[in-house]
Structure 1
């Protein structure tokens, strides 16, 4: 390409830019109006969206895994002579499922019944507090048909579900309000787990900073209890079974011991061979029952140690702190965004939109 052609192209580009600038200057009054409209819309939107506060709690849980004989149960087994027959394995549930636990319906349903205290110092149930949180006005406009429909239905159908009816076997029956609140909580309460470090982060976003901190602390506490309960449930079941087995073997040993003692007392002065044979048989039975009784006692002690060993340790890295600043977008950003969109839309319409529309109309007429 020659130097002359490059100069011609640069001149055409300068002419095009100057032409665009002249067109923009020509519509400056319209741009002023667009700035005012964008400013008003930005202020309305910024004031309509309520402030929200996010509380973040991080904890480092002990992950379940194969511990071998290094744990409390292993020490107990070694001390009691080993051979207990109870093996340690990887748990079916660990902290990696925290996000699924926190978003589960039973977990959130239990959370709705907790008591919170807002900034005004008024105690109330979390379900009642959620009813007081505000929403942008356009949500009410969009949801107006559904609200009217619900009101009409409520006149004819009285929906009351008692606490006994909520849980029927494995089924959970929810009212519409509870279902809506649980859906809202699933968005407001989240838990994430770093796969590399196993650090669990719980985020709670609510409009009241104090309530957000209380809920975040409660979520972490209930999450710990849930995981501990699950991790130790098998060991507790083993303890219950072994305690029952221990009592049965103990009674069998006591019965055999009493039979042997009664027989020895009754035939103390007799030296017949048949008497000695029966005495030896009863003594062997008593020793056998004692061995079984002793083994079950050892297994019971190891199972009790496994309950304590199965409890994971949770180190709270960052506790729940009442936030001072809101986590929602600042109102100035909304204003800037809508002003920018108004200016950009106005320029785009007068430079490209009108020409495109006129060309489209001409194509339709032809």
Structure 2
């Protein structure tokens, strides 16, 4: 029993001792390099302040939408009510390929972003009142972006000097954008985001720009254009059906009036005659008139149903959280300074404790 105790006791006792020695050794190394850590912290603080004040202030506005799409029930809605009252057939409701679930794809599409270019915006200090496409030229960029982009701008300026000047007042062509237009489209594509909650169907639109009031105005415009975009798509088919039925209604109406006039003229011309041939022709004209009236009446009923369907197909959007001018910037300078400070501190500590010994060991082995 004593031999077993002597044999097993050193094993568990050695691990805590080794761990304590390792921790104390690391602590002594940290204390020994405290001057280096002070320098790294100071450098990180200065660099963090420079970066924080070099990055332009940005503001984010979020808008929450709850879309209510048209019902697919065959026994509900204005169109079904009109069909039942007028005796017309049910025109049916088909699933649309585009709905609110595609909001993120819609707001990031080039045609949609180009429509936003003409949005009228005004800065919070009221010094700038112009269109969104002109405002994008006034947005600031960090100084390192200007340095990195200087060669490209110089080359573009040289090319522009030797190339022929074009008229910039023409409308934007989504099929053929210039480099400047494409750059602004990409800027808006990064600034405007849409997120869909698949469970609830709630859409959250967010816009990030460098002026608080401009951001709120653009967010409000995005919501309005998105709503109109989806409404126009959903009622496009119903409008086509209604336009076709209106044309058909006028044609059938004209045919009925003509058949009515032929019957009336024939009866007036032969009212004193009692020949069988006259009666036969009169019955034929009367049947043509009745048939034309039946067709005309059916088309009129279908037209009323189609008109009701246009209103039924319009989706209703409930704005749960409207656009408001933000009071604080979304990118906090304080967090940038703190992040760079700790990054410099942790990076220096990791290099001194692990990186430098590994490098020396690698040199010795090689």
Category of TM-score, reference length = shorter chain = over 0.9
CA contact (8 A) 1:165 1:173 kept: no
Question: What does residue 3 of structure 2 align with?
Answer: none
- SS of the equivalent of 2:252 reads helix
CA distance in 1, matches of 2:116, 2:53: 30
Shift of 1:294: 0.7
Q: Do structure 1's residue 257 and structure 2's residue 263 form an aligned pair?
A: no
Structure 1 segment 170-319 matched on structure 2, within 5 A: 172-319=175-322
Kindly indicate whether residue 107 of structure 2 is the aligned counterpart of residue 105 of structure 1.
Answer: no
Instruction: Work out which of the residue numbers 343, 348, 352 in structure 1 matches 2:354.
Output: 352
Which TM-score applies when normalising by structure 1? 0.93
Q: 1:9 to 1:198 in 2, by over 3 A?
A: closer
Q: Which runs of structure 2 are paired with 1:28-177 in the superposition (5 Å)?
A: 28-83=34-89, 86-121=91-126, 122-158=128-164, 160=166, 166-167=172-173, 172-177=175-180
Q: How many Å separate the matches in 1 of 2:40 and 2:62?
A: 40
- Cα distance, 1:63 vs structure 2: 2.3
Residues 35-65 of structure 1 show CA distances to partners (whole Å, capped at 9, x for unaligned) of 1101101111111111211111111111245
Give the TM-score of the pair, scaled to structure 2: 0.93
- 1:55 aligned counterpart, secondary structure: strand
In structure 2, the residue matched to 1:361 is 363
Task: Report the Cα offset of residue 260 of structure 1.
Answer: 0.5
- Partners of 1:264 and 1:134 in 2: how far apart? 85
**Deviation string, structure 1 residues 116-161 (Cα, Å, up to 9, x no partner):** 1111223111011111111221222222222222222211224636
Contact 1:64 1:90 in 2 (8 A): no
Is the contact made by 1:91 and 1:231 (CA closer than 8 Å) also made in structure 2? yes
Distance 2:171 2:322 in 1: 37
Match of 1:342 in 2: 344
Verify the 8 A CA contact 2:71 2:77 in the aligned structure 1: no
Q: In 1, distance between residues paired with 2:87 and 2:10?
A: 99
1:70-96 residue CA offsets vs partner (Å, 9 max, x unmatched)? 11011111111123x622222222111
SS in 2 for 1:66: coil
CA distance in 1, matches of 2:299, 2:317: 33
In 2, Cα distance between the equivalents of 1:304 and 1:162?
43
- Give 3-state SS (helix, strand or coil) of 1:172's partner: coil
Alpha-carbon distance change, 289 to 49 in structure 1, aligned in 2, over 3 angstroms: same
- Which of 330, 333, 343 matches 1:331? 333
